[in-house]
Amino acid sequence: MTGGDIIEAVVKSLIIIVALLTAFAYMTLYERRILGRMQLRSGPNRVGPAGLLQPVADGVKLAFKQAITPRGVDKPLYLLAPAISVVTALSAFAVIPVGPTYNIFGRAIPFHLADFNVGLLFVLAMGSLGAYGIVLAGYASNNKYSLLGGLRAAAQLISYELALGLSLVGILMISGSLSLTAIVEGQARGLWYILVQPLAFVIYLISAIAETNRAPFDLVEAEQELVGGYHTEYTGLRFALFFMAEYINMVTVSALAATLFLGGWHGPFDLLSGPWWLLAKIILILTLYVVLRATLPRLRYDQLMRLGWHWLLPLALLNVVLTAIGITLLQ
């Protein structure tokens, strides 16, 4: 690796981190404004023009809040848990292809940080590791409500990771590759995979919402039952790190859905393809996240488990079988 390659990787890493942190901040504002409109209220609109400085005000508020460490916590794990959640959330985006290769100052710059031949496995691995932060937070907090939230996170991970992984097997069978760049290019040469894998797309979205612990699958927090769940004993910036990891994970799973099923950075009929198409698709899926939060009540825990094991997992297996039959018949 040359010096230029190292500089390129560092610059790309910084751009991705800044972009994700900005997306996290303004996704909170976007969500609150949509929820406000759906609930016939304005939402944040006082801090800055049209409320655009509200995320900055929230960040300053959290930065100056007192960080309280309860007695009896396992301090190393207590401090490590939010760091694990944030690092894995940021790392997962490294292999998402954001756009084509551009020629900048005479140098070919691919618009992704890395193109692993097992990029999809890397994203799934980072998503799975992120659950360790929640589990460790629940365990280390010395609080029964936090511990229950951590246990629920582990159960949700086991239940929905299987369905999510199986929902992507059909994509792998059609594309013949685990490289996200290759999967995007395969859709550019043919149909978007949502058209040939609609069941897989629905299963992926439901499983991804459950894995990111968002409503109506936010059982790991469940204020009415667990006070705040795994982050009950976290305050100030430590709480903000968990909050940040949740929203960055939402952006990542939305980007992965757009990459695997919606053609990535390619537009319909390859019209004016570029990073703006990926951004538009991410915003569309994130809007669905918010609408679901405002629309559906939280499931009971037994309903959550039943949905994963009795419905999503069998349907994902059925999709794999139907995909295999379809590929065999078309050969």
Q: Residue 112 sits in which domain range?
A: 3-330
So what's the pLDDT on residue 112? 83
CA 18 from chain centre, in angstroms, equals 16
Q: Which of 264, 135, 292 is nearest to 208 (CA)?
A: 292
Angle, nearest 10°, between helix axes 75-91 and 236-261? 30
Q: What tens digit of pLDDT does each residue of 105-157 get?
A: 777 888 888 888 888 999 999 988 888 888 899 889 888 888 888 888 888 88
Residue 210, CB-side half-sphere exposure with 13 Å CA sphere: 29
Q: Is residue 229 predicted with pLDDT exceeding 90?
A: no
Q: Is the dihedral of CA 220, 224, 225, 229 positive or negative?
A: positive
Q: Is residue 1 predicted with pLDDT exceeding 70?
A: no
Domain count, the chain: 1
**Where does the pLDDT of residue 225 fall: very low under 50, low under 70, confident under 90, or very high at 90 and above?**
confident
Going through the chain in order, the beta strands assigned E by DSSP cover: 101-104, 107-110
Could you tell me what percent of the chain has a pLDDT over 70? 99
| Neighbour count for residue 325 (Cβ, 10 Å) | 10
Tell me the sheet residues that pair with 101. 110
pTM, rounded to two decimals: 0.93
Tell me how far apart the alpha carbons of residues 215 and 194 are, in angstroms, rounded to a whole number. 24
DSSP annotation string for 20-61:
HHHHHHHHHHHHHHHHHHHTTS--S-SSSGGGTTHHHHHHHH
So what's the pLDDT on residue 105? 75
Average pLDDT over residues 280-284: 95
Tell me how far apart the alpha carbons of residues 46 and 51 are, in angstroms, rounded to a whole number. 5
Q: Do the bridges between strand 107-110 and strand 101-104 make them parallel or antiparallel, or are there none, so unpaired?
A: antiparallel
